[in-house]
Amino acid sequence: MNKNPKVSDLGACEQCGRALILNKFTLCYECRHQEKLDVDRALDYLKTNRGATLNQVSQATGVDPQLVLKLIRGGRMEVLAQERIKKMGNLALEKKNKRKSFK
């Protein structure tokens, strides 16, 4: 069996843009490792601060709100009220859109 990757198997990390061989991951090793550290930091914060909002978790830990939303949608974090997730999602999208503007 040939272990050499094909050109179609090459891609870029979604986070940093480094070249990588596409497999089940879309992030390079370093970005996956950093994401795991961020997840652990956010979950540890929530253990001691139950009921914290998305912004509180993000500001206290430095974790990107998009990652927190990803954890909520993936079932690793829980939302206390359904109304809150809409509000949190809107706040995270506003923050993301601010970063994309080139003014």
Domain contains 2: no
Q: What is the pLDDT of residues 10-62, one digit of tens each?
A: 888 888 889 888 778 888 899 999 999 999 999 899 888 888 888 888 899 99
Domain count, the chain: 1
- Of 72, 37, 74, residue with least CA distance to 52: 72
Domain contains 94: yes
DSSP 77-100: S--S-HHHHHHHHHHHHHHHHHHH
Domain contains 55: yes
pLDDT band at 96 (very low <50, low <70, confident <90, very high): low
Domain contains 64: yes
Domain contains 52: yes
**Cβ-contact 65, 58 below 8 angstroms:** yes
Write down the pTM of the prediction.
Answer: 0.63
Domain contains 58: yes
Domain contains 54: yes
Full domain range(s) for residue 83: 35-100
